[in-house]
């Protein structure tokens, strides 16, 4: 009768070992019993970049990379983007269920009334150069929040964690908007509690001399949908950073700063900025075949394409592409979209991309919308970090509650020098 086990034979000793298979995985620790001698450390699993290693068991987000499926707590991303709001989705990701009307009202109230930041933060924000990258400002100012809310260190106090959750989700847009206004040499625009989460963000970014900023409803909804699409994505690089740094039991502001720093990289959340630069360099549709040729020759990557998990079209990219049309009705068409659509058309027909299962990912079209909405390229990864904050916190919460989790401390395969004695300087040779 079939058993959920793996039998491993060590051909060095002829011994066999039976290890259980649970949820499609074996425990790497079960390999340590495989030894050639009693003082042998045992077999390690070697997996650079964790290509085939589960770091945790999670109930938050499910992705099927082959089928292009993404679900938050079981709900398809398409339905959440169509019918939900970002704060409603953040609640779902954090607490596992869609909020009732009363729960949602209380949740929105709690977030709305934590959007202000300490006035001192403006002082060190003013210290950045005018052209400081807003992600650099965001990473450092969110870390600095840990010095204002020292009770955040009580990470096992549920009430403290809930309060820091409200503060982080509420204040990330404020920090981001202040960084933007600083880069433009403009006065800071304070939160307006009459507005929605996305509407208030637009207000803090773009309010000029009008007494009260009125967000364009189409752009407000498009931004909220983009926030929904970016809220979580299981164990991506920045979430791995959040869990790993959080496993040392540091406060959540410092852990979010580490996660945002990981997201800043051009292979991760920085890709949407890299896509716009790439489209700008290509310049026109007729230059696309030449660019594709250079990518296939290994002279750079088609940014916004490819994914560690999706080996099919990223479902988020499809939704963003549709949202672009609605945004362009308000802002006018961003001509870069024609180059992007031509890039996608040619790439999806080309064996190089087909064989490597490279499809557009979430970053391929998002930057085009952001640029059309008036955001500078440097703000694009910031627009990724804001909504992903709820996913990072949910994953951090889950890690803290997991009895199997400890401080993250991987092993290594050591290939360095064997024991050797110190050499006096006069005896060293270059």
Q: Which is nearer to ligand SDX, 173 or 315 (CB)?
A: 315
DSSP state of 212: S
Choose one: 172-180, 182-190, 361-369, 398-406; the region binding ligand SDX (CB under 6 A).
Answer: 361-369
Distance between CA 73 and CA 88 in Å, rounded? 13
269 in Cβ contact with 367 (< 8 Å): no
Chain residue whose CB lies nearest ligand SDX: 306
For 274, half-sphere exposure in the C-beta direction (CA atoms, 13 angstrom radius) is 18
Contact between 361 and ligand SDX (CB under 6 A)?
yes
Q: Is 68 left (phi over 0), alpha (psi -120 to 50) or beta?
A: left
Question: Rule CB under 6 A: which of 276-305 touch ligand SDX?
Answer: 295, 301-305
265 in Cβ contact with 113 (< 8 Å): no
- For helices 86-95 and 101-112, the axis angle rounded to 10 degrees is 100
Q: Is 42 left (phi over 0), alpha (psi -120 to 50) or beta?
A: left
Choose one: 85-93, 193-201, 323-331, 359-367; the region binding ligand SDX (CB under 6 A).
Answer: 359-367
Distance in Å, CB of 171 to ligand SDX, minimum: 21
Q: Which is nearer to ligand SDX, 285 or 308 (CB)?
A: 308
Q: Catalytic one among 224, 232, 363, 397?
A: 363
Distance between CA 230 and CA 222 in Å, rounded? 13
Distance between CA 118 and CA 51 in Å, rounded? 42
Distance in Å, CB of 381 to ligand SDX, minimum: 10
Distance between CA 418 and CA 430 in Å, rounded? 20
Element (H, E) at 267: none
Q: Which is nearer to ligand SDX, 342 or 363 (CB)?
A: 363
Pairing of strands 15-20, 69-72: unpaired
Does residue 64 have an active-site annotation?
A: no
Distance between CA 369 and CA 374 in Å, rounded? 9
Element (H, E) at 228: helix 217-229
Of residues 71, 162, 285, 308, which one binds ligand SDX by CB under 6 A? 308
Distance in Å, CB of 308 to ligand SDX, minimum: 4
Contact between 204 and ligand SDX (CB under 6 A)?
no
Distance between CA 384 and CA 371 in Å, rounded? 14
Does residue 307 have an active-site annotation?
A: yes
Q: Catalytic one among 268, 338, 350, 402?
A: 268
Q: Catalytic one among 182, 233, 307, 397?
A: 307
Does residue 268 have an active-site annotation?
A: yes
Encoded one letter per residue, x for contact with ligand SDX by CB under 6 A and - for no contact, window 236-265 reads xx----------------------------
Q: Which is nearer to ligand SDX, 34 or 295 (CB)?
A: 295
Contact between 215 and ligand SDX (CB under 6 A)?
no
Distance between CA 292 and CA 220 in Å, rounded? 35
Of residues 21, 267, 354, 401, which one binds ligand SDX by CB under 6 A? 267
Contact between 385 and ligand SDX (CB under 6 A)?
no
Choose one: 113-121, 175-183, 242-250, 357-365; the region binding ligand SDX (CB under 6 A).
Answer: 357-365
Of residues 117, 307, 317, 375, which one binds ligand SDX by CB under 6 A? 307
Size of the site for ligand SDX (CB under 6 A): 21
Token code pair at residue 368: 């085009």
DSSP state of 209: S
Report the length, in residues, of the chain: 430
Distance between CA 329 and CA 332 in Å, rounded? 6
Encoded one letter per residue, x for contact with ligand SDX by CB under 6 A and - for no contact, window 129-168 reads ----------------------------------------
Of residues 220, 251, 363, 398, which one binds ligand SDX by CB under 6 A? 363
Tell me the catalytic residues.
268, 307, 363
- What is the contact surface with ligand SDX in residues (CB under 6 A)? 233, 236-237, 267-268, 271, 295, 301-309, 356, 358, 361-363
């Amino acid at each position: 009768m079939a058993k959920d086990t793996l039998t491993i034979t060590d051909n060095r000793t002829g011994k066999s070992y039976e290890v259980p298979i649970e949820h499609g995985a074996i425990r790497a620790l079960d390999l340590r019993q495989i030894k050639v001698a009693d003082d042998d450390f045992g077999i390690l699993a070697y997996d650079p970049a964790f290509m085939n290693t589960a770091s945790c068991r999670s109930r938050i987000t499910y992705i099927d990379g082959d089928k292009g499926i993404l679900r938050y707590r079981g709900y398809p991303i398409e339905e959440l983007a169509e019918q939900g709001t970002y704060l409603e989705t953040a609640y779902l990701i954090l607490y596992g269920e869609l909020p009732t009307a009363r729960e949602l009202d209380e949740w929105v109230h709690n977030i709305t009334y934590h959007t202000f930041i300490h006035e001192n933060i403006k002082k060190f924000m003013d210290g950045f150069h005018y052209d400081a990258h807003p992600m650099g400002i965001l990473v450092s100012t969110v870390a600095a929040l840990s010095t204002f809310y020292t009770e955040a260190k009580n990470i096992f106090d549920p009430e403290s964690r809930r309060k820091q959750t409200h503060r982080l989700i509420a204040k990330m847009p404020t920090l981001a908007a202040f960084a933007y206004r600083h880069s433009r040499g403009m006065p800071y625009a304070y939160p307006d509690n009459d507005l929605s989460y996305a509407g208030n963000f637009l207000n803090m970014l773009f309010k000029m001399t009008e007494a009260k900023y009125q967000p364009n409803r189409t752009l407000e909804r498009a931004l909220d949908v983009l926030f929904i699409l970016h809220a979580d994505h299981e164990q991506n690089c920045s979430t791995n950073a959040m869990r790993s740094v959080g496993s040392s039991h540091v406060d959540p502001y410092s852990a979010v700063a580490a996660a945002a720093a990981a997201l800043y990289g051009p292979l991760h959340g920085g890709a949407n900025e890299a896509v716009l630069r790439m489209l700008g360099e290509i310049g026109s549709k007729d230059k696309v075949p030449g660019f594709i040729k250079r990518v296939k020759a290994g002279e750079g990557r088609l940014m916004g394409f490819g994914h560690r998990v999706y080996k099919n079209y990223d479902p988020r990219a499809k939704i963003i592409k549709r949202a672009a049309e609605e945004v362009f009705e308000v802002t006018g068409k961003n001509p870069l979209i024609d180059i992007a659509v031509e890039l996608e058309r040619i790439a999806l027909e080309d064996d190089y991309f087909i064989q490597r299962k490279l499809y557009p990912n979430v970053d391929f079209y998002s930057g085009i919308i952001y640029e059309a909405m008036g955001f500078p390229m440097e703000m694009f990864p910031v627009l990724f970090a804001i909504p992903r904050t709820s996913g990072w916190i949910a994953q951090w919460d889950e890690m803290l509650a997991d009895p199997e989790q400890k401080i993250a401390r991987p092993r290594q395969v050591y290939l360095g020098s064997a024991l050797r004695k110190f050499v006096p300087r006069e005896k060293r040779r270059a």
